Structure 1
């Protein structure tokens, strides 16, 4: 199984939303960056994902979620009422992908970005590289295990 990291503003969809939904799924939709979309398309059922809070006061990894449905056409791209509507996308050739996620667990504490940046072994993680703003990114198994050591 692959490992991933997704970023979200907690006011949009954060760990509290997953805790509230507990046994249900949350669609991860509205991604409108081509590289992030390509990563979403690679996600498979069972893959584990770090949920990272961004653009807020407490920035960092807040929990772990799991892919319960791999990539499928993002329905919001077809909805003219959605802020994620894309008039250039067509049902027979969709441009954007979504996946369904469910909670694995909330971390005992938020792992802040400054700790991730200071951890030897995470230098190649896109999250800690200067200028990387992707909302979906792969995480190697080694990076995953190193990061989990910080949760304690």
Structure 2
């Protein structure tokens, strides 16, 4: 299983909204970056990822799971981009802030630290375990 990080501005789509969608989940649309598209295309059902509040909060707040693999994004008029569907799995017991991640030397190579603008990004198994522990969850 691969691990990912999905960035969302909470005033556009928040963790609470994701949780409210329940088992039905929600599509992750609006990605218009070719590297992020490549990551979306690589995702498989069952892959898990962190839900990250960008701009406001700047913290990882929960864990989501891919429930539908890559398909065309209905909001893309060009037809070049797609999306996956995600459902909320669990909230972190406490948010893990961007500053905390930047301050942890074990996470210095994390994409979130080195390419902060990328909206969908891979997370290594080691990074996954560290952040889950920082957030009060077991891997």
* 1:104-131 residue CA offsets vs partner (Å, 9 max, x unmatched): 01111211111111112211111012x5
Query: For this pair of structures, how many residues does the alignment match?
Result: 136
The residue correspondences of 1:1-152 to structure 2 (distance < 5 A) are 1-56=1-56, 58-77=57-76, 86=77, 89=78, 94-129=79-114, 132-152=116-136
Deviations 1:33-85, CA, capped at 9 Å, x for gaps: 111111111111000010000011x11101000000111111111xxxxxxxx
For the aligned residue pairs, the C-alpha RMSD in angstroms reads 1.1
Length-normalised TM-score, structure 1: 0.85
- What do the CA deviations read for 1:114-152 (whole angstroms, capped 9, x no partner)? 1111112211111012x5310000001011001111112
Q: Per-residue deviation at 1:30?
A: 0.6
**Cα contact 2:28–2:84 (8 A) shared by 1:** yes
Q: Is the 8 A contact 2:19 2:87 kept in 1?
A: no
Q: TM-score, normalised by structure 2?
A: 0.93
In structure 2, distance between residues paired with 1:44 and 1:75? 20
Runs of 4+ in 1 over 4 A off after TM superposition: none
SS in 1 for 2:12: helix
Task: Flag structure 1 segments of 5+ consecutive residues without an equivalent.
Answer: 78-85
SS in 2 for 1:44: coil
Bigger radius of gyration: 1
